[in-house]
Amino acid sequence: MTTETLTVLAEEGKSLDDTISDAVAPVADAVTNTVFYEIMIGDVAIKPIVIWLVTGALFFTIYLGFQQIRGFKHAIRLVKGDFSDPHDAGEVSHFQALATAVSGTVGLGNIAGVAVAVSIGGPGATFWMILAGFLGMAAKMAECTLGVKYRKQHADGTVSGGPMYYLRDGIANLGKPGLGKFLAAAFAVFCIGGSLGGGNMFQANQATAQIINVTGGDNSPFVNLKWAIGLIFAAGVGLVIIGGIKSIAKVTEKIVPFMAVLYVSACLIVIFGNLADIPAAFGNIFVGAWGKEGLAGGFIGVLIVGFQRAAFSNEAGIGSASIAHSAVKTKEPATEGFVSLLEPFIDTIVICTMTALAIVVTGAYKAPGAAELDGVALTSSAFGSVISWFPTVLAFAVILFAFSTMISWSYYGMTATGYLFGDSKQAELIFKIIFCVFIVIGATLSLGPVIGFSDSMIFLMSIPNMIGLYLLARVVKKEVMGHRERVRTGEFAEVK
Amino acid sequence: MSKVLVGVDGSDASRRTVDFAVELAKDFEIGIIVVHVIPWSPYSFTTSEENEHRHLQREVELVAAREQIVEPAIHQVANANIKVEAVVRHGHPVEVMIEIARERGVRHIIVGRTGDSRIKQALFGSLPTQLILHSTVPVTVVP
């Protein structure tokens, strides 16, 4: 290729990137402003939607009696298979349901989202993120218990579940079938939006950003070719979800756990590479949690940022993971509720905290020029400050996380499409095509509108879902407490 | 009545193994349990789509194993007028065979020498080697 054609390509690319950006960004911004309207109380900006999620998580923490502590050991024994009937060998195990759900949640939210939180809210946001992860465990337990209880076995023997089904059938059992159907449909619509936003555009956007970042930043040959990177991602995802090339998805599923271990190890190396700064970092996190200079709203502002990013990452109360958890083979729905406690734990309390510590310990968030770094670039600079080639390791992790999260979310979106259109193959195909188009759009836009749109859609999902969880709270409690009782009496016993 | 357990996989070696087991069962006047284990682990990583179809897929695997692998072996034994039962189960082949042996009072396990690649054998040990190491009853490996 001559330099001339390269230049032409670059110019075309530039215009293409900009064209897509100019067309989509205003729409995304409008959606964001509607969902995240702020109520000013004095000079504190409150986002009602974040309060909505936290209240729900807090409610279930108290209502279910702190199962995230009391049920933690039981959850681990369930995942280990201590209670699994050998005659169920070959069915979906608790471990598999959990691992599948985790691969959907662990994504760029853990790497880039956390960086966004620390750069806006300071180190203190980490504290609120961990707390939100802890409370989120209870909300997750509620939605996953219901997901299994009301899942549907279709005529062909396949099993699907999730908020659509517990909202429709669970609320119908309470004598309000109309409300149930309405909430279920609303959830399905927002779930399609969420799969295109947080489950797609945000992932594609930040994976692309990191590829550009490690290939030279502003001097990268790809800087104006974001759409082309997006196209490659779209082709990869398309091969799996449209082309049915399952082997790619299988390989990804098998590599992702190792990437997660690699990522956490890399974080630990970064953190322990700055051993002397660790006490100060914890100091900053605890002091910062109660307020940051320059951030409007003091500690409430930090809290909102921390909670928002945690919720975006672990999806507790959003309902998405309930779709993945519902496939498990179990006699008691509450068992998967217990197992699902571990998901926000792994996602937020372990992985998000690692990212945050790496950024805080290295001081990357306050380095000169840090203000211009958005999302993944900040995590990358924290990694690079310890070992120069670590950003490349990060790039591999990011690409794989993005890919597996996109595949998982395409499944969530497809389940929602299937629910809305009576499992019409045609509707599902149209959804898959739109999904791939959004990958290209997501890769091209700047982070601002992408994260705004992604957050909006994810949080909209939580409205019908949380209403349903409140209405069905007694059902959840009955399942969870009944299960605890049967474990205590030995009726639900360990398999020797 | 005590029994001998025969692990089958539908291969030529597997047929020879059943023949050998039949001879043995005749001599000692004991019954045979034909076992096929479908390799599966509860700790493997799967996609949502696989999970959705898992229950269905499991049934398909069990039927295929019964029809194509276990039934020919059952005929082979039954033709020799020996009492035979069969088990098809998912799991780790070595663990499941040992488990079944324990459950049903089996006093002898017979397996064929499998066709694992040399590299795989060097890394993980072949199925017979693992079985010999972990079994609580005598094991015979048929070449």
In which band, very low, low, confident or very high, does the pLDDT at A4 lie, cut at 50, 70 and 90?
very low
| Contact: A158, B55; criterion CB under 8 Å | yes
pLDDT at residue A189 greater than cutoff 60:
yes
Nearest Cα to A94, choosing from A106, A76, A116, A78?
Answer: A78
Q: Which residues pair with B112 in a beta bridge?
A: B142
What's residue B120's pLDDT?
A: 63
pLDDT at residue A2 greater than cutoff 90:
no
| Contact: B42, A93; criterion CB under 8 Å | yes
Say how far apart CA A24 and CA A82 lie, in whole Å. Answer: 51
In which band, very low, low, confident or very high, does the pLDDT at A37 lie, cut at 50, 70 and 90?
low
Is A422 near chain B, with CB under 8 Å?
no
Query: Which residues in chain A have their CB less than 8 angstroms from residue B96's CB?
Result: 89
Residue pairs between chains A and B whose CB atoms are closer than 8 Å: 92
Query: Which residues in chain B have their CB less than 8 angstroms from residue A94's CB?
Result: 42
End-to-end distance of chain B based on CA atoms, in angstroms? 28
- Going by their DSSP bridges, the two strands A152-153 and A159-160 should be labelled as antiparallel
| Contact: A156, B90; criterion CB under 8 Å | no
Chain A residue closest in CA terms to B92: A89
Please give the model's pTM, rounded to 2 decimal places: 0.89
| Contact: A86, B51; criterion CB under 8 Å | no
| CB A224, CB A20: distance < 8 Å | no
In which band, very low, low, confident or very high, does the pLDDT at B33 lie, cut at 50, 70 and 90?
very high
Say how far apart CA A344 and CA A263 lie, in whole Å. Answer: 17
pLDDT at residue B58 greater than cutoff 50:
yes
Lowest-pLDDT choice from A108-112, A156-160, A437-441, B98-102: A156-160
What's residue A27's pLDDT?
A: 78
> Can you read off the two tokens belonging to residue B126?
């072949």
| Contact: A91, B56; criterion CB under 8 Å | no
Query: In a mutagenesis test of the B interface, which of A94, A98, A159, A242 is the best target, namely the one with the most B β-carbons within 10 Å?
Result: A159
In which band, very low, low, confident or very high, does the pLDDT at B122 lie, cut at 50, 70 and 90?
low
| Contact: B45, A257; criterion CB under 8 Å | yes
CA distance to partner chain B, nearest, from residue A37 (Å) = 35
pLDDT at residue A342 greater than cutoff 90:
yes
CA distance to partner chain A, nearest, from residue B47 (Å) = 6
Count each helix (H run) and each strand (E run) in chain A, helices first.
25, 4
pLDDT at residue A495 greater than cutoff 90:
no
User: In the predicted model, what is the mean pLDDT of residues A8-19?
Assistant: 59
Say how far apart CA B70 and CA B18 lie, in whole Å. Answer: 11
- Going by their DSSP bridges, the two strands B3-7 and B31-39 should be labelled as parallel
Q: Read off the pLDDT of residues A53-95 as tens digits, 9 standing for 90 and up.
A: 889 999 999 999 999 999 999 999 999 999 998 888 999 999 9
Chain B residue closest in CA terms to A321: B48
User: In the predicted model, what is the mean pLDDT of residues B111-128?
Assistant: 71
Q: Read off the pLDDT of residues B59-68 as tens digits, 9 standing for 90 and up.
A: 999 999 999 9
pLDDT at residue A400 greater than cutoff 60:
yes
Average model confidence (pLDDT) across chain A: 88
CA distance to partner chain B, nearest, from residue A162 (Å) = 12
What's residue A355's pLDDT?
A: 94
Cβ count near A160 (within 10 Å): 22
Task: Name the 3-class secondary structure at A13.
Answer: helix
Nearest Cα to A460, choosing from A243, A73, A196, A79?
Answer: A196
| CB A307, CB A132: distance < 8 Å | yes
In which band, very low, low, confident or very high, does the pLDDT at A109 lie, cut at 50, 70 and 90?
confident
Which residues does A478 contact at the CB level (< 8 Å), separation at least 6? none
Say how far apart CA A169 and CA A177 lie, in whole Å. Answer: 7
| Contact: B54, A92; criterion CB under 8 Å | yes
Highest mean pLDDT among A256-265, A329-338, B47-56: A329-338
pLDDT at residue A250 greater than cutoff 50:
yes
Is A84 near chain B, with CB under 8 Å?
yes
| Contact: B48, A324; criterion CB under 8 Å | yes
What's residue A375's pLDDT?
A: 84
Cβ count near A239 (within 10 Å): 15
CA distance to partner chain A, nearest, from residue B85 (Å) = 17
What's residue A473's pLDDT?
A: 97
Chain A residue closest in CA terms to B91: A89
CA distance to partner chain A, nearest, from residue B61 (Å) = 9
Of A368 and B30, the one with more pLDDT:
B30
| Cβ-nearest to A99 among B45, B52, B56 | B45
What's residue B123's pLDDT?
A: 64
Say how far apart CA A116 and CA A356 lie, in whole Å. Answer: 10
Nearest Cα to A252, choosing from A236, A266, A264, A263?
Answer: A236
Say how far apart CA A241 and CA A431 lie, in whole Å. Answer: 10
Is A154 near chain B, with CB under 8 Å?
no
- Going by their DSSP bridges, the two strands B84-91 and A152-153 should be labelled as unpaired
Please return the burial class of A87, using the count of CB atoms within 10 Å of its CB with bins 0-12, 13-18 and 19+. exposed
What's residue A361's pLDDT?
A: 93
Nearest Cα to B110, choosing from B11, B37, B20?
Answer: B20
What's residue A8's pLDDT?
A: 43
What's residue A1's pLDDT?
A: 40
| Cβ-nearest to A96 among B42, B90, B96 | B42
| CB A166, CB A146: distance < 8 Å | yes
What's residue A423's pLDDT?
A: 83
Is A450 near chain B, with CB under 8 Å?
no
pLDDT at residue A358 greater than cutoff 80:
yes
| Cβ-nearest to A100 among B42, B48, B90 | B48
CA distance to partner chain B, nearest, from residue A355 (Å) = 24
What's residue A5's pLDDT?
A: 43
DSSP A260-298: HHHHHHHHHHHHHTTGGGHHHHHHHHHHHTT--TTSTTH
Is A78 near chain B, with CB under 8 Å?
no
Query: Which residues in chain A have their CB less than 8 angstroms from residue B50's CB?
Result: 246, 250
Say how far apart CA A444 and CA A227 lie, in whole Å. Answer: 5
Query: In a mutagenesis test of the B interface, which of A83, A87, A94, A100 is the best target, namely the one with the most B β-carbons within 10 Å?
Result: A100
Say how far apart CA A273 and CA A361 lie, in whole Å. Answer: 9
| Cβ-nearest to B52 among A86, A160, A250 | A160
| Contact: B42, A81; criterion CB under 8 Å | yes
Q: Read off the pLDDT of residues A122-170 as tens digits, 9 standing for 90 and up.
A: 899 999 999 999 999 999 999 999 999 999 988 888 888 999 999 999 9
Tell me whether 0.85 is exceeded by the ipTM: yes
Query: In a mutagenesis test of the B interface, which of A78, A83, A93, A409 is the best target, namely the one with the most B β-carbons within 10 Å?
Result: A93
Supply the Cα-derived Rg of chain A in whole angstroms. 22
Say how far apart CA A164 and CA A187 lie, in whole Å. Answer: 7
Of A125 and A28, the one with more pLDDT:
A125
Say how far apart CA B141 and CA A152 lie, in whole Å. Answer: 46
What's residue A291's pLDDT?
A: 74
